[in-house]
Protein backbone atom coordinates (compact mmCIF):
# COMPACT_ATOMS: atom_id res chain seq x y z
CA UNK A 1 0.00 0.00 0.00
CA UNK A 2 1.21 3.50 -0.88
CA UNK A 3 1.88 5.58 2.22
CA UNK A 4 0.31 9.00 2.60
CA UNK A 5 2.94 11.68 1.94
CA UNK A 6 2.65 14.36 4.62
CA UNK A 7 4.52 17.68 4.64
CA UNK A 8 4.96 19.61 7.89
CA UNK A 9 4.65 23.37 7.44
CA UNK A 10 6.20 25.15 10.42
CA UNK A 11 8.55 23.47 12.86
CA UNK A 12 7.73 24.92 16.25
CA UNK A 13 6.41 22.97 19.23
CA UNK A 14 3.42 21.51 17.35
CA UNK A 15 5.36 20.84 14.17
CA UNK A 16 7.92 18.77 16.04
CA UNK A 17 5.24 16.62 17.72
CA UNK A 18 3.34 16.31 14.44
CA UNK A 19 6.47 14.95 12.76
CA UNK A 20 6.83 12.33 15.51
CA UNK A 21 3.19 11.30 15.04
CA UNK A 22 3.64 11.02 11.26
CA UNK A 23 6.79 8.92 11.79
CA UNK A 24 4.89 6.62 14.18
CA UNK A 25 1.91 6.19 11.82
CA UNK A 26 1.99 2.93 9.87
CA UNK A 27 0.45 4.49 6.77
CA UNK A 28 2.18 7.89 6.60
CA UNK A 29 5.60 9.16 5.59
CA UNK A 30 7.03 12.67 5.93
CA UNK A 31 7.41 14.26 2.50
CA UNK A 32 9.45 17.19 3.79
CA UNK A 33 9.43 20.21 6.07
CA UNK A 34 8.56 23.78 5.13
CA UNK A 35 10.32 26.44 7.25
CA UNK A 36 10.64 30.15 6.60
CA UNK A 37 14.44 29.92 6.41
CA UNK A 38 14.33 26.82 4.26
CA UNK A 39 16.96 25.05 6.36
CA UNK A 40 17.03 22.48 9.18
CA UNK A 41 18.48 25.11 11.50
CA UNK A 42 20.25 22.72 13.82
CA UNK A 43 17.42 20.18 14.22
CA UNK A 44 19.33 16.95 13.56
CA UNK A 45 16.14 14.88 13.26
CA UNK A 46 15.49 16.83 10.04
CA UNK A 47 18.72 15.62 8.37
CA UNK A 48 16.89 12.87 6.52
CA UNK A 49 14.16 15.17 5.16
CA UNK A 50 13.99 17.84 2.49
CA UNK A 51 13.67 21.20 4.25
CA UNK A 52 12.40 23.96 1.97
CA UNK A 53 10.91 27.44 2.28
CA UNK A 54 7.87 26.90 0.04
CA UNK A 55 5.44 23.97 -0.20
CA UNK A 56 5.72 24.11 -4.00
CA UNK A 57 9.36 23.00 -3.74
CA UNK A 58 8.27 19.57 -2.42
CA UNK A 59 7.11 16.86 -4.81
CA UNK A 60 4.20 14.45 -4.45
CA UNK A 61 2.76 15.89 -1.26
CA UNK A 62 -0.70 14.47 -0.45
CA UNK A 63 -1.42 16.63 2.56
CA UNK A 64 0.27 19.39 4.57
CA UNK A 65 0.08 19.70 8.34
CA UNK A 66 0.05 23.45 8.87
CA UNK A 67 1.65 23.97 12.27
CA UNK A 68 1.59 27.77 12.25
CA UNK A 69 0.24 30.14 14.91
CA UNK A 70 -3.55 30.47 14.55
CA UNK A 71 -3.28 34.05 13.33
CA UNK A 72 -1.27 32.92 10.29
CA UNK A 73 -3.09 29.64 9.61
CA UNK A 74 -5.52 31.06 7.03
CA UNK A 75 -2.89 32.46 4.67
CA UNK A 76 -0.54 29.46 4.97
CA UNK A 77 -3.37 26.99 4.35
CA UNK A 78 -4.48 28.94 1.30
CA UNK A 79 -0.98 28.78 -0.20
CA UNK A 80 -1.02 25.00 0.18
CA UNK A 81 -4.53 24.57 -1.22
CA UNK A 82 -3.67 26.76 -4.21
CA UNK A 83 -0.67 24.48 -4.79
CA UNK A 84 -3.08 21.53 -5.00
CA UNK A 85 -2.16 20.13 -1.56
CA UNK A 86 -4.78 19.12 1.02
CA UNK A 87 -4.26 20.57 4.48
CA UNK A 88 -4.95 20.13 8.18
CA UNK A 89 -4.42 22.71 10.91
CA UNK A 90 -5.16 23.28 14.58
CA UNK A 91 -6.58 26.82 14.31
CA UNK A 92 -7.84 27.42 17.85
CA UNK A 93 -9.73 30.72 17.92
CA UNK A 94 -13.23 29.34 18.52
CA UNK A 95 -15.08 32.44 17.36
CA UNK A 96 -13.26 32.43 14.01
CA UNK A 97 -13.68 28.79 13.01
CA UNK A 98 -16.99 28.99 11.11
CA UNK A 99 -15.77 31.93 8.99
CA UNK A 100 -12.37 30.34 8.30
CA UNK A 101 -14.05 27.08 7.26
CA UNK A 102 -16.36 28.88 4.85
CA UNK A 103 -13.50 30.90 3.34
CA UNK A 104 -11.28 27.83 2.88
CA UNK A 105 -14.14 25.69 1.59
CA UNK A 106 -14.29 27.74 -1.59
CA UNK A 107 -10.51 27.61 -2.10
CA UNK A 108 -10.35 23.87 -1.42
CA UNK A 109 -13.18 23.06 -3.83
CA UNK A 110 -11.71 25.23 -6.54
CA UNK A 111 -8.42 23.34 -6.26
CA UNK A 112 -9.95 19.88 -5.91
CA UNK A 113 -8.45 19.21 -2.46
CA UNK A 114 -9.63 18.89 1.14
CA UNK A 115 -8.89 21.02 4.17
CA UNK A 116 -9.53 20.04 7.80
CA UNK A 117 -9.56 23.03 10.16
CA UNK A 118 -9.24 23.20 13.94
CA UNK A 119 -8.09 19.61 14.26
CA UNK A 120 -6.50 19.74 17.69
CA UNK A 121 -8.09 18.57 20.92
CA UNK A 122 -10.11 21.71 21.61
CA UNK A 123 -11.31 22.69 19.11
CA UNK A 124 -11.07 19.20 17.68
CA UNK A 125 -11.60 15.93 19.50
CA UNK A 126 -13.48 17.70 22.33
CA UNK A 127 -15.78 19.13 19.64
CA UNK A 128 -16.59 15.59 18.52
CA UNK A 129 -17.46 14.62 22.09
CA UNK A 130 -19.61 17.73 22.49
CA UNK A 131 -21.47 16.94 19.25
CA UNK A 132 -22.01 13.33 20.31
CA UNK A 133 -23.31 14.33 23.75
CA UNK A 134 -25.64 16.94 22.22
CA UNK A 135 -27.12 14.14 20.11
CA UNK A 136 -27.43 11.73 23.06
CA UNK A 137 -29.05 14.27 25.38
CA UNK A 138 -30.76 17.01 23.36
CA UNK A 139 -31.89 18.81 26.51
CA UNK A 140 -28.99 19.77 28.72
CA UNK A 141 -25.93 21.89 29.07
CA UNK A 142 -22.31 20.93 28.35
CA UNK A 143 -19.45 22.35 30.37
CA UNK A 144 -15.86 22.04 29.17
CA UNK A 145 -13.42 22.43 32.02
CA UNK A 146 -9.77 22.79 31.01
CA UNK A 147 -6.62 22.23 32.97
CA UNK A 148 -4.76 22.83 35.01
CA UNK A 149 -2.23 23.08 32.22
CA UNK A 150 -0.49 25.34 29.75
CA UNK A 151 -2.64 26.70 26.95
CA UNK A 152 -0.52 26.88 23.80
CA UNK A 153 -2.73 29.41 22.04
CA UNK A 154 -2.81 31.71 25.07
CA UNK A 155 0.94 31.32 25.58
CA UNK A 156 1.65 32.31 21.97
CA UNK A 157 -0.72 35.27 22.29
CA UNK A 158 0.99 36.46 25.50
CA UNK A 159 4.43 36.09 23.95
CA UNK A 160 3.32 38.28 21.02
CA UNK A 161 2.56 41.24 23.30
CA UNK A 162 5.19 44.02 23.00
CA UNK A 163 7.50 44.11 26.00
CA UNK A 164 7.21 40.38 26.69
CA UNK A 165 10.47 38.41 26.44
CA UNK A 166 8.97 35.10 27.51
CA UNK A 167 5.62 33.95 28.82
CA UNK A 168 3.49 30.97 29.74
CA UNK A 169 -0.28 30.96 30.23
CA UNK A 170 -1.68 28.38 32.63
CA UNK A 171 -5.40 27.57 32.49
CA UNK A 172 -7.00 26.81 35.85
CA UNK A 173 -10.55 25.36 35.93
CA UNK A 174 -12.94 27.11 38.29
CA UNK A 175 -15.87 24.80 37.53
CA UNK A 176 -18.91 24.87 35.19
CA UNK A 177 -16.80 25.96 32.24
CA UNK A 178 -15.29 29.01 33.99
CA UNK A 179 -11.51 29.39 33.91
CA UNK A 180 -8.82 31.58 35.34
CA UNK A 181 -5.77 32.39 33.17
CA UNK A 182 -2.52 32.71 35.08
CA UNK A 183 0.03 34.37 32.83
CA UNK A 184 3.67 34.33 33.93
CA UNK A 185 5.78 36.84 32.00
CA UNK A 186 9.45 37.77 31.75
CA UNK A 187 9.69 41.42 30.68
CA UNK A 188 12.00 43.05 28.16
CA UNK A 189 14.49 45.41 29.82
CA UNK A 190 12.55 48.57 29.03
CA UNK A 191 9.04 47.18 29.45
CA UNK A 192 6.59 48.28 32.15
CA UNK A 193 4.71 45.51 33.93
CA UNK A 194 1.41 47.39 34.21
CA UNK A 195 1.27 48.21 30.51
CA UNK A 196 2.17 44.68 29.50
CA UNK A 197 -0.48 43.26 31.87
CA UNK A 198 -3.12 45.59 30.45
CA UNK A 199 -2.18 44.64 26.88
CA UNK A 200 -2.43 40.92 27.69
CA UNK A 201 -5.80 41.32 29.41
CA UNK A 202 -7.13 43.26 26.39
CA UNK A 203 -6.09 40.53 23.93
CA UNK A 204 -9.05 38.60 22.45
CA UNK A 205 -7.57 35.38 23.86
CA UNK A 206 -7.86 36.71 27.41
CA UNK A 207 -10.55 39.39 27.32
CA UNK A 208 -13.46 37.17 28.37
CA UNK A 209 -11.71 35.32 31.23
CA UNK A 210 -10.44 36.28 34.65
CA UNK A 211 -6.74 36.83 33.86
CA UNK A 212 -3.89 37.34 36.29
CA UNK A 213 -0.50 38.50 34.99
CA UNK A 214 2.53 37.86 37.16
CA UNK A 215 6.01 39.16 36.32
CA UNK A 216 8.72 36.59 37.03
CA UNK A 217 12.44 36.18 36.30
CA UNK A 218 12.07 32.78 34.64
CA UNK A 219 9.01 30.86 33.49
CA UNK A 220 10.61 27.40 33.87
CA UNK A 221 9.06 26.70 37.25
CA UNK A 222 5.55 27.46 35.95
CA UNK A 223 5.72 25.71 32.60
CA UNK A 224 4.31 22.26 31.83
CA UNK A 225 3.16 20.25 28.81
CA UNK A 226 0.67 18.25 30.87
CA UNK A 227 -2.93 19.28 30.35
CA UNK A 228 -6.39 17.93 30.91
CA UNK A 229 -10.07 18.25 30.23
CA UNK A 230 -13.19 17.41 32.15
CA UNK A 231 -16.18 17.71 29.82
CA UNK A 232 -19.58 17.25 31.46
CA UNK A 233 -23.12 17.13 30.13
CA UNK A 234 -26.07 16.76 32.45
CA UNK A 235 -29.37 16.05 30.74
CA UNK A 236 -32.99 15.50 31.59
CA UNK A 237 -34.08 12.44 33.62
CA UNK A 238 -30.83 12.24 35.58
CA UNK A 239 -28.62 11.64 32.59
CA UNK A 240 -24.96 12.39 33.24
CA UNK A 241 -22.05 12.17 30.82
CA UNK A 242 -18.43 12.89 31.66
CA UNK A 243 -15.35 12.82 29.44
CA UNK A 244 -11.98 13.19 31.11
CA UNK A 245 -8.49 13.15 29.76
CA UNK A 246 -4.99 13.79 31.04
CA UNK A 247 -2.55 14.24 28.18
CA UNK A 248 0.54 16.01 26.84
CA UNK A 249 -0.84 19.12 25.19
CA UNK A 250 1.41 19.62 22.12
CA UNK A 251 1.91 15.87 21.66
CA UNK A 252 -1.83 15.17 21.48
CA UNK A 253 -2.28 18.07 19.08
CA UNK A 254 0.44 16.63 16.85
CA UNK A 255 -1.18 13.19 17.01
CA UNK A 256 -4.63 14.51 16.06
CA UNK A 257 -3.09 16.47 13.17
CA UNK A 258 -1.51 13.26 11.86
CA UNK A 259 -4.90 11.49 12.13
CA UNK A 260 -6.69 14.39 10.44
CA UNK A 261 -4.08 14.33 7.64
CA UNK A 262 -5.10 10.73 6.96
CA UNK A 263 -8.78 11.73 7.06
CA UNK A 264 -8.19 14.67 4.70
CA UNK A 265 -7.06 12.28 1.97
CA UNK A 266 -10.40 10.46 2.35
CA UNK A 267 -12.74 13.46 2.02
CA UNK A 268 -14.19 15.00 -1.10
CA UNK A 269 -12.94 18.51 -1.99
CA UNK A 270 -14.02 21.11 0.56
CA UNK A 271 -13.28 22.31 4.08
CA UNK A 272 -14.29 20.38 7.20
CA UNK A 273 -14.20 20.59 10.95
CA UNK A 274 -13.65 17.30 12.81
CA UNK A 275 -17.36 16.90 13.60
CA UNK A 276 -18.01 16.74 9.84
CA UNK A 277 -15.69 13.77 9.32
CA UNK A 278 -16.56 10.10 9.94
CA UNK A 279 -14.47 9.04 12.98
CA UNK A 280 -13.33 5.88 11.18
CA UNK A 281 -11.47 8.05 8.67
CA UNK A 282 -9.09 9.13 11.45
CA UNK A 283 -7.79 5.59 11.86
CA UNK A 284 -5.20 3.67 9.85
CA UNK A 285 -5.89 0.28 8.36
CA UNK A 286 -8.74 -1.61 6.82
CA UNK A 287 -12.26 -0.34 7.49
CA UNK A 288 -13.74 -3.82 7.93
CA UNK A 289 -11.05 -4.68 10.51
CA UNK A 290 -11.72 -1.45 12.42
CA UNK A 291 -15.45 -2.18 12.49
CA UNK A 292 -14.80 -5.69 13.80
CA UNK A 293 -12.48 -4.39 16.53
CA UNK A 294 -14.11 -1.15 17.65
CA UNK A 295 -17.83 -1.17 16.89
Q: Per CB under 8 A, which region of 45-53, 117-125, 153-161, 208-216 contacts a second copy?
A: 117-125
- List residues bridging with 180 in a β-sheet: 172, 210
Q: What is the DSSP string of 194-237?
A: HHHHHHHHHSTTTTTSEEEEEE-S-SGGG--SEEEEEEEEEEGG
- Give me the least distance between CB of 295 and a second copy, in Å please: 4
Q: Is 268 in the site for a second copy (CB under 8 A)?
A: no
By CB under 8 A, the residues from 162 to 201 that bind a second copy are none
C-alpha Rg value of the chain to the nearest Å: 20
Q: Is 63 in the site for a second copy (CB under 8 A)?
A: no
- Give me the least distance between CB of 210 and a second copy, in Å please: 23
Q: Report the residue number, 160 or 290, with the smaller CB distance to a second copy.
A: 290
What does the alpha-carbon distance between residue 186 and residue 249 come to, in Å, rounded to a whole number?
22
- Give me the least distance between CB of 278 and a second copy, in Å please: 5
Under rule CB under 8 A, how many of the chain's residues touch a second copy? Answer: 58
- List residues bridging with 210 in a β-sheet: 180
**How many C-beta neighbours within 10 Å does residue 22 have?**
25
Sign of CA dihedral 53, 54, 60, 65: positive
Contact set with a second copy (CB under 8 A): 24-25, 94, 97-98, 101-102, 118, 121, 123, 125, 127-132, 134-138, 226, 237-248, 251-252, 255-256, 259, 273-280, 282-284, 287-288, 290-292, 294-295
Amino acid sequence: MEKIRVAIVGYGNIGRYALRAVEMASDEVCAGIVRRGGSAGGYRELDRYAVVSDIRQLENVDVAIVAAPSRHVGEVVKTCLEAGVSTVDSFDIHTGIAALRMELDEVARRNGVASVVSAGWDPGSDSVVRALLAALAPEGETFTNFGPGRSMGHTVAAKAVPGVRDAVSITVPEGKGVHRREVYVVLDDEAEGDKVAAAIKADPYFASDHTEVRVVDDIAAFDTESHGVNLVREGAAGYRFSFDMRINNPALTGQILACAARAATRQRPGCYTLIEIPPVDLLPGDREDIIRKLV
